[in-house]
Structure 1
Amino acid sequence: MPKMQANQMRPGHVIEHEGQRWTVLKSQINTPGKGAAVIQVEMRNLRTGSKKDERWRTIDTVERLMTEEKEYDYLFADGDRLTLMDKESFEQIEVDSSLCGEAKQFLQEGMVLLVDLVEGEPVAIHLPQTVTLEVAQADPVVKGQTASSSYKPAILSNGAKTMVPPFVEAGDRIVVRTEDASYVERAKG
């Protein structure tokens, strides 16, 4: 298995640690006032689904498992289980929605997903970078608020919360990033 430095771990990577396979959910490098920098990693066990936080020195090495990417169509959800269809063979698979991470709130039927597989087993799901949704609710603009200075809270049609520019109102369709629910632009057309 190829080794990589711990500070190269990114969300979506799959590693072997203590004889088990883990998918990286979040990684953050912390540089304390004294001593060497460390990388704090939140990861999920692929077999059990349990989460764990682990720390490595940035100079430590970890074993990264090679993943294969494959496109699937998202069909529907049944509780925490997602049904996906292989775009080539039309074979359907069921996976746990936790493989999408925080982005699962943006799943839409018919959406094309990129699924990372390790030896044929789904380990992570990547949504498109942006989605278009309708603003269900937006706070009114406060008088004297300048357009450039501040965004206001809004709730999207899927229930996700985001911050939008003052000119965006309920009923508007906007483009948001699936990674962090941030506003990109007004939807065109």
Structure 2
Amino acid sequence: MGTYKTSDFRKGLKVQIDGEPYQMTEMTFRKPGKGNALYECRLRNLVRGTMMSRTYRGGETLESADVEEINSQFLYRQGDMFVFMNSETYDQYELTSAQVDENWKYLKDGMACSMVLFNNNPISITPPNHVELEVTYCEPGAKGDTATNVTKPCKVETDAEFLCPSFINIGNVIRVDTRTGEYIERVRT
């Protein structure tokens, strides 16, 4: 397994601390008047999702995490379990609702996703940046509300709710940004 020196530290780097994988979410370089440079890091545990802060001196090293990112396909949901398939080897993986987290809102059968494996065990998935979802229920919009930025909750085919403009109706297909959870546009069909 490889190692990273402090000069290699950057946002998004995946490292292993005490046998668990972490991803650097922030990294600040500080050079005090005397002594070694300091690297202040915010790390997110990829298994548990917890955050921690650590400070490293210049020249220290960290082990690289044994994580692999693969292309996968969402197959179906069974209770609290989500089943995915590796697109190349056709191996199937089950993730709990805690591992899938808020991403369940965007998952449609057959959707391509990116999956992170740690020691060949799945730990998280990332849906595409934009998904198209059909609106299954929403209140009708009031006449005359088109000039202002009026929004209403709309339920989509995945049973999630998103705030959409008042002109959206049942049966419309909307595009949603999975990184922010915000409505982008109505898709013309």
TM-score under structure 1 length normalisation: 0.69
Q: What is the match of residue 108 of structure 1?
A: 108
**Distance in 1, Cα, partners of 2:79 & 2:138:** 26
Which residue is 2:141 aligned to? Answer: 140
Match of 1:55 among 39, 53, 56: 53
CA distance in 2, matches of 1:23, 1:105: 25
C-alpha distance in 1 between matches for 2:56 and 2:165: 39
**Count, aligned residues:** 175
Q: 1:64-104 CA deviation, whole Å, 9 max, x = no partner?
A: 42532222222122223222222222222223343333112
SS in 2 for 1:105: helix
**CA radius of gyration, larger in:** 2
Give identity over the alignment, percent.
22
Describe how 1:8-23 pairs up with structure 2 within 5 A. Answer: 8-10=10-12, 14-17=14-17, 19-23=18-22
Equivalent in the alignment of 1:43: 45
Indicate the residue corresponding to 2:89 in structure 1: 89
**Conserved? CA contact 1:116–1:122, under 8 Å:** yes
Structure 1 stretches of 4+ with a deviation exceeding 6 A read 58-61
Q: CA 1:43–1:175 in 2, change beyond 3 Å: closer, same or farther?
A: same
Confirm or deny: 8 A CA contact 1:103 1:179 kept in the other structure: no
Distance change (3 Å), C-alpha of 1:58 and 1:165: farther
Deviation at 1:125, TM superposition (A): 1.1
Q: Which runs of 5+ in 1 are unaligned?
A: 30-37
TM-score where L is the length of structure 2: 0.69
- Which amino acid letter does the alignment assign opposite residue 43 of structure 1? N
Shift of 1:126: 1.3
What amino acid maps onto 1:177 in structure 2?
D
> Are 1:68 and 1:117, in contact at CA under 8 Å, matched by a contact in 2?
yes
How far apart are residue 137 of structure 1 and its match?
1.0
Q: Judge conservation of contact 1:138–1:168 (CA < 8 Å) in 2.
A: no
Answer whether contact 1:98 1:104 (CA < 8 A) is retained. Answer: no
Unaligned 5+ residue runs, structure 2? 28-39
Deviations along 1:166-187, whole A, 9 cap, x unmatched? Answer: 3222332111122232111111
Give a deviation string over 1:22-47, Cα, whole Å, max 9, x none.
455x9579xxxxxxxx7655535x3x
Question: CA shift at 1:59, angstroms?
Answer: 8.1
Please give the root-mean-square deviation of Cα atoms over the aligned residues, in Å.
3.7
